[in-house]
Amino acid sequence: MSPGKIFIFSAPSGAGKTTLINCVRRAVPEIVYSISATTRPPREGEVDGRHYFFLTEEEFRSRIQQGEFAEWACVHGHYYGTPRSFIDTTIAGGRSIIMDIDVYGKKKFDTLYPAAIGILILPPGLEKLEERLRARNTDDEATIELRLANARKEMEFAEKYGKYEYSIINDNLEKAGDETIRLVRSLL
């Protein structure tokens, strides 16, 4: 049996990455979604073990010390990480995984899983990104400003140091969704 493939999606906050991942998950139901661990509080409607594994900071740090994460980082003031055991078991069983990892985590992840396929989702511009962040109504002004500053840094980092075989500009959700689905299907 051939090992499964790993698809890593990265994007600045508000670029539409989660929406595009969900499009792929609906269209390609055999692909497994990798659930990350985080210390941030759940947003309305998020369920522990389905959207994220919500951990306290102490639990997260303990798991770092035990080497349980393929990658981890502190983003927007909260820890995020990818559990190694889930990835290893899934791909060894021949199933492919779709993941949501920021550009810094992707670089770390590539040292352990160099065959991972990177797909960078980009907004059509920073002004449009700001509009999207504000329209979500999930963050206060300080958080929006932090996310915009981080978006600039993330896009620069991805361009200079990232290993992204593919990039998709999400200027039209339907078009970007179709493009993303075609891409993933062609690589499976």
pLDDT of the chain along its 188 residues, tens only?
789 999 999 998 778 898 999 999 999 999 999 988 999 999 999 999 888 999 999 999 999 999 999 988 887 789 999 899 889 999 999 999 999 888 888 888 899 999 999 999 998 888 888 887 888 888 888 888 888 888 889 888 988 888 999 999 998 989 999 999 999 999 99
Taking the domains of the chain in order of start, what are their residue ranges?
6-187
Q: Which fold has domain 6-187?
A: Rossmann fold (3.40.50)
The number of helix segments (H) and strand segments (E) in the chain equals 7, 9
Residue 121: per-residue pLDDT: 94
pTM of the predicted structure, to 2 decimals: 0.81
Residue 91's nearest CA partner among 73, 109, 108 is 109
Query: Two tokens at 96?
Result: 């492919």
Q: What does the pLDDT read at residue 10?
A: 93
Bridge-based pairing state of the strands 69-75 and 78-83: antiparallel
In this structure, are residues 179 and 119 in contact, taking their beta carbons and an 8 Å threshold? no
180: left (phi over 0), alpha (psi -120 to 50) or beta: alpha
Q: What is the pLDDT of residue 4?
A: 95
What pLDDT shows up at residue 126? Answer: 81
pLDDT of residue 24: 96
